[in-house]
Amino acid sequence: MTFLGRLGIDSLPFYSPVAFAGAATEVLAALMILALVTWKGWWKPLFRDWIATVDHKKIGIMYLFLAGVMLLRGFADAMLMRLQQAMALNSDGYLPPEHFNQIFSAHGTIMIFFMAMPFLTGLINIVVPLQIGARDVAFPFLNAVSFWLTGAGAALVLLSLVIGKFSTAGWTAYPPFSENSFTPGPGVDYWIWAVLVAGAGSTMTGINVLVTILMRRAPGMSLMRMPLFTWTALVTSILMVFAFPALTTSSAMLALDRTLGFHFFTNGDGGNMMNYANLFWIWGHPEVYILILPAFGIYSEVVATFSDKRLFGYTSLVFATAVIGVLSFTVWLHHFFTMGASANVNAVFGIATMIIAVPTGVKVFDWLFTMYRGSIRLTTPMYWTIGFMVTFVIGGATGVLLAIPPVDFLMHNSVFLVAHFHNMLIPGALFGFFAGFSYWFPKAFGYRLDETWGKRAFWAWITGFYIAFMPLYALGFMGMPRRMEHYDVAGWQPLLITAAIGAVFILAGIACQIVQLYVSWKNRESLCDTTGDPWDGRTLEWMTSSPPKPWNFDRIPTVHSLDEFAWRKETAGFVDEPGAPDVIALPKDSLLPMAIGASAFIFGFAMIWHIWWLAIMALLTILAMLTATGFTRDSGLRIIRIENRDAARAEVASS
């Protein structure tokens, strides 16, 4: 055993010119950012205002930033794959199998764990405390720890491009292929530790959001007066709390197999990979709803606001959300109908899966009827929402098809399946996150996003989506499996070239979004939101300024109705009775969460490369920091007194 474990000079990416170029780009980008920050003298404000913050809104913005960066990386992977498959008829294309296999593994891992999860966690962080009239989340320090753990996981994935290789075992890391006998080397370990570190963060996020929503609602806000986004965040957080431990368990068992020679999932020696498949999907299926439910919540808010109406069937929507949450735990076996279970088992899980289509269908109709006889403003968030409804139902239908076991025997492992889950996750989840991003952007930043570029982005994305994924449905009928580095069926190539063209449209969509951010920032004066209520909103978050003060509300509002803010605007003669001045206690900023994240990153890195002394030191550091946190007294809080309701003059005192 050496000092640096299995780390050596051969860990650098000289095996593929494309991988080397990618690594060089990544290192260069990192160096440029560091240089820029140094040159501009941003280090101090960066640490003071962002890295040390425990403010839920700023943490939310940092999550969004992380999601944006990882979206670019994950999408670059997608482009590389589409290009390879468009070329690789009877040839090796331009990517060696070793590199192609890393790319699709990284693409899935990044998009699920480090793009979609941070995106929705960011939106929940920014919006939920505001929607329920709270000053912050229940555990602000823990919230920051969760963020930095997610960042540590993302950093491990990014690092794998430069030092060593990433997993070639797909984003699901199915054993026995992901065991040492088939994939030695650090790749799968990168996947394991990135997922374990980030998964710990997600579990804690789930606990945090759950407790926040249950305990920190403003007076008068009963459960059935909660906005729908808060409802979906609540169900999502419950799913996180119950589902993520299964992922943590299965990944940790795989780590034991690989690192300490256990035999949980190995071929032979008593191992059984079927246990992994079960554990993984007991997390994996609820994960789909962890991603989609918050998007459903966003569509609900957007469609009500821009139809100038209350949501149609609020109770139905709440009920449907809860039903989906419960049912999502009962269907995991549909991911492996082909594993040889009996017809009874397959049929039961197939039918359970289809039942989820009922509450989902109800939701779609409730959104449609919300528009009925409304007064509809076709803003960018509305575009995303309508685009979602039209496209998502196709994914729902193909999902029902895949839930029929005899059909799944034909479509399993095919690109039809790939098209299906992209159909769920792009129009289903990502469009929702984009809608939420433009909807709440003024709340978080104080100015609206440019509408023209937003709509251009929408048209490019949705056109690109259809051109990129409809051919994959067709290819599925032609029997094309997923994850093919090359192929010898000439009939597939035209469709794969079409799909690559679709990816170029999506690239244009992403470019429009970047331009949109720049243009909006340039015109931030004219797009400024001075009222705090740029959309004629209906819920509490629009009652406070944009961006809100660190304590969100000078005075916690009392809730009288569903859509409290709309109710207040519509109720003639409503006067908010002034109460006694509030004393606000805000948690103190701390650099410890970042330090914990950094130590977790080092711990993961050391475990991946078998540098045991470093792993032990990093682990001890984390324990020491957590212990130190335990001794911090509440007197360390920042106390703010609101003296005058209108002037909101804040007297900040540290005690």
Touching other proteins, residues 269-308 (CB under 8 A): 270, 272-274, 277-278, 307-308
Do 214 and 222 touch, CB atoms closer than 8 A?
A: no
In angstroms, the CA 109 to CA 455 distance is 29
Given CA atoms 88, 93, 96, 98 in this order, what sign does their dihedral have? negative
Closer residue to Cu ion, CB minimum distance, 193 or 289: 289
Using DSSP's 3-state secondary structure scheme, residue 539 falls into: coil
Stretch that binds Cu ion, among 238-246, 281-289, 539-547, 552-560 (CB under 5 A): 281-289
Closer residue to other proteins, CB minimum distance, 342 or 635: 342
Q: Determine if 394 is a binding residue for other proteins (CB under 8 A).
A: yes
Among 249, 316, 523, 632, binds other proteins (CB under 8 A): 316
User: What contacts 485, CB < 8 A, 6 or more positions away?
Assistant: 84, 88, 92, 93, 95, 97, 100, 101
Question: Torsions phi, psi of 642, nearest 5?
Answer: -90, 110
Q: How far is the CB of 560 from Cu ion (least distance, A)?
A: 41
- Residue 311's nearest CA partner among 297, 322, 290, 294 is 297
Closer residue to other proteins, CB minimum distance, 152 or 403: 403
Touching other proteins, residues 160-199 (CB under 8 A): 168-170, 174, 176-177, 182-183
Among 13, 118, 153, 350, binds other proteins (CB under 8 A): 350
Give which of Cu ion, other proteins, none residue 311 binds (C-beta under 5 to 8 Å, depending on kind).
other proteins
Q: Determine if 605 is a binding residue for other proteins (CB under 8 A).
A: no
Give which of other proteins, Cu ion, none residue 68 binds (C-beta under 5 to 8 Å, depending on kind).
none
Do 233 and 209 touch, CB atoms closer than 8 A?
A: yes
Closer residue to other proteins, CB minimum distance, 69 or 347: 347
Using DSSP's 3-state secondary structure scheme, residue 15 falls into: coil
Using DSSP's 3-state secondary structure scheme, residue 641 falls into: strand
Q: How far is the CB of 115 from other proteins (least distance, A)?
A: 22
Touching other proteins, residues 31-90 (CB under 8 A): none
Using DSSP's 3-state secondary structure scheme, residue 549 falls into: coil
Which three-class secondary structure string do you get for 82-144? HHHHHHCECCCCCCCHHHHHHHHHHHHHHHHHHHHHHHHHHHHHHHHHHHCCCCCCCCHHHHH
Q: Determine if 254 is a binding residue for other proteins (CB under 8 A).
A: no
Closer residue to other proteins, CB minimum distance, 16 or 53: 16
Do 641 and 583 touch, CB atoms closer than 8 A?
A: yes
Count CB neighbours of 460 within 10 A: 20
Residue 547: CA count within 13 A, CB half-sphere: 14
Q: How far is the CB of 361 from other proteins (least distance, A)?
A: 4
Touching other proteins, residues 445-484 (CB under 8 A): 466, 470-471, 473-474, 476-479, 481-484
- Residue 131's nearest CA partner among 529, 440, 527, 586 is 440
Stretch that binds Cu ion, among 269-277, 279-287, 436-444, 503-511 (CB under 5 A): 279-287
Do 143 and 76 touch, CB atoms closer than 8 A?
A: no
Q: Determine if 608 is a binding residue for other proteins (CB under 8 A).
A: no
Give which of other proteins, Cu ion, none residue 481 binds (C-beta under 5 to 8 Å, depending on kind).
other proteins
Closer residue to other proteins, CB minimum distance, 132 or 356: 356
Q: How far is the CB of 523 from other proteins (least distance, A)?
A: 23
For residue 459, the one-letter residue type is W
Strands in 583-586's sheet, in edge-to-edge order, are 583-586, 638-642, 650-654
Q: Determine if 568 is a binding residue for Cu ion (CB under 5 A).
A: no
Give which of other proteins, Cu ion, none residue 312 binds (C-beta under 5 to 8 Å, depending on kind).
other proteins
Q: Determine if 501 is a binding residue for other proteins (CB under 8 A).
A: no
**Token pair for 391:** 């496209």
640: enclosing H helix or E strand: strand 638-642
Q: Determine if 456 is a binding residue for Cu ion (CB under 5 A).
A: no
Touching other proteins, residues 526-585 (CB under 8 A): none
In angstroms, the CA 56 to CA 121 distance is 11
Among 50, 76, 218, 310, binds other proteins (CB under 8 A): 310
In angstroms, the CA 466 to CA 531 distance is 39
Residue keyed to tokens 């409730």? 366
In angstroms, the CA 597 to CA 201 distance is 10
Q: How far is the CB of 12 from other proteins (least distance, A)?
A: 22
Stretch that binds Cu ion, among 34-42, 278-286, 491-499, 625-633 (CB under 5 A): 278-286
Among 18, 207, 218, 401, binds other proteins (CB under 8 A): 401
In angstroms, the CA 521 to CA 523 distance is 5
Among 40, 48, 377, 649, binds other proteins (CB under 8 A): 377
584: enclosing H helix or E strand: strand 583-586
In angstroms, the CA 112 to CA 109 distance is 6
Using DSSP's 3-state secondary structure scheme, residue 156 falls into: helix
Binding mask 320-349 for other proteins (x = CB under 8 A): -------------x--x-xxxxxxxxxx--
Stretch that binds other proteins, among 222-230, 494-502, 545-553, 586-594 (CB under 8 A): 494-502
Give which of other proteins, Cu ion, none residue 350 binds (C-beta under 5 to 8 Å, depending on kind).
other proteins
Binding mask 409-448 for other proteins (x = CB under 8 A): xxxxxx----------------------------------
Q: How far is the CB of 514 from other proteins (least distance, A)?
A: 27
Give which of other proteins, Cu ion, none residue 285 binds (C-beta under 5 to 8 Å, depending on kind).
Cu ion
Closer residue to other proteins, CB minimum distance, 256 or 357: 357
Give which of Cu ion, other proteins, none residue 139 binds (C-beta under 5 to 8 Å, depending on kind).
none
Among 58, 73, 165, 285, binds Cu ion (CB under 5 A): 285
Give which of other proteins, Cu ion, none residue 452 binds (C-beta under 5 to 8 Å, depending on kind).
none
Do 509 and 464 touch, CB atoms closer than 8 A?
A: yes
Strands 583-586 and 638-642: antiparallel
Burial class for 211, CB neighbours closer than 10 Å (0-12, 13-18, 19+):
middle
Give which of other proteins, Cu ion, none residue 314 binds (C-beta under 5 to 8 Å, depending on kind).
other proteins
Closer residue to Cu ion, CB minimum distance, 160 or 328: 328
Closer residue to other proteins, CB minimum distance, 26 or 98: 98
Do 294 and 121 touch, CB atoms closer than 8 A?
A: no
Q: Determine if 412 is a binding residue for Cu ion (CB under 5 A).
A: no
Count CB neighbours of 337 within 10 A: 22
Q: ∠ CA(182), CA(186), CA(191), 5° rounding?
A: 90
In angstroms, the CA 155 to CA 27 distance is 12
Give which of other proteins, Cu ion, none residue 382 binds (C-beta under 5 to 8 Å, depending on kind).
other proteins
Do 655 and 634 touch, CB atoms closer than 8 A?
A: no
Question: Torsions phi, psi of 380, nearest 5?
Answer: -55, -45
Q: Determine if 57 is a binding residue for Cu ion (CB under 5 A).
A: no
Residues making contact with Cu ion (CB under 5 A): 285
